[in-house]
Amino acid sequence: MQRIAFYAGSFDPPTNGHLDIIAGGLNLADKLVLAIGIHHAKQPLFSFEERVSLLHGSIEACFPDHIAKIDIIAFDGLLIDKAREIGAKILIRGLRDATDFDYEMRLAGMNKMLAPGIDTIFIPAQARTRHLSATLVRQIATMRGDLSSFVPGVVRTALIDKFDNKKAIS
Ligand code: ADP
């Protein structure tokens, strides 16, 4: 039977930290489903379609041999409901620090009660990416900082375009 892992996030935008976790998920599962959370109350920097395209571009650049193992989908309700619906047995989460740990342990506990057949697996962030968050990447992009150590090339280009266009419009 195919072992399906589910990795959810906002990926707004995808960072090298997300890609490290994707690499770990690829080691653990036959199929890795990347689920982009759509929160109607939150206005993302990149649209769902843009985030799909950035994830695709990043995966093509970083894991060209694993493209067939990865699906990208949207979800707008409880992530555990979506994970169950697609038949996942593993929830992948990344852990950067103690703040992530406290939140993620609570989330894992609640998810286990909601779906006992699905287990959370934590992948620790690597030293070179543990300081990274999409929020900080967006802030650095706003101020035209150097993004090359934080995101794949395709994301860096999209961030530069996004903020150059915004400047041109305002
Ligand atoms: P962010 O927190 O960067 O906005 P998401 O909300 O998309 O990212 O996070 C989804 C998942 O990815 C969470 O499990 C989070 O801990 C993990 N994650 C995000 N950034 C990193 C990183 N730099 N290293 C390890 N895990 C990460």
Global confidence as pTM: 0.94
- Tell me whether residue 105 is exposed, middle or buried, using C-beta atoms within 10 angstroms of its C-beta: 0 to 12, 13 to 18, 19 or more: middle
Please check whether residue 152 is in contact with residue 56, taking contact to mean a CB–CB distance below 8 angstroms.
no
Pairwise CA distance, residues 73 & 26, whole Å: 16
Instruction: Give tens-digit pLDDT for 124-151.
Output: 999 999 999 999 999 999 999 999 999 9
pLDDT interval class at 39 (50, 70, 90): confident
- Centroid of ligand 1 to alpha carbon of 21 (angstroms): 8
H/E run at residue 112: helix 98-114
**What was the pLDDT predicted at 58?**
98
Distances (CA, A) of 65 to 6, 9, 33: 19, 23, 16
Indicate whether residue 10 lines ligand 1 (CB < 6 A).
Answer: yes
Select from 133, 140, 151, 159 the residue to mutate for testing ligand 1; criterion: most ligand atoms less than 8 Å from CB.
133
Instruction: Give residue 12's pLDDT.
Output: 97
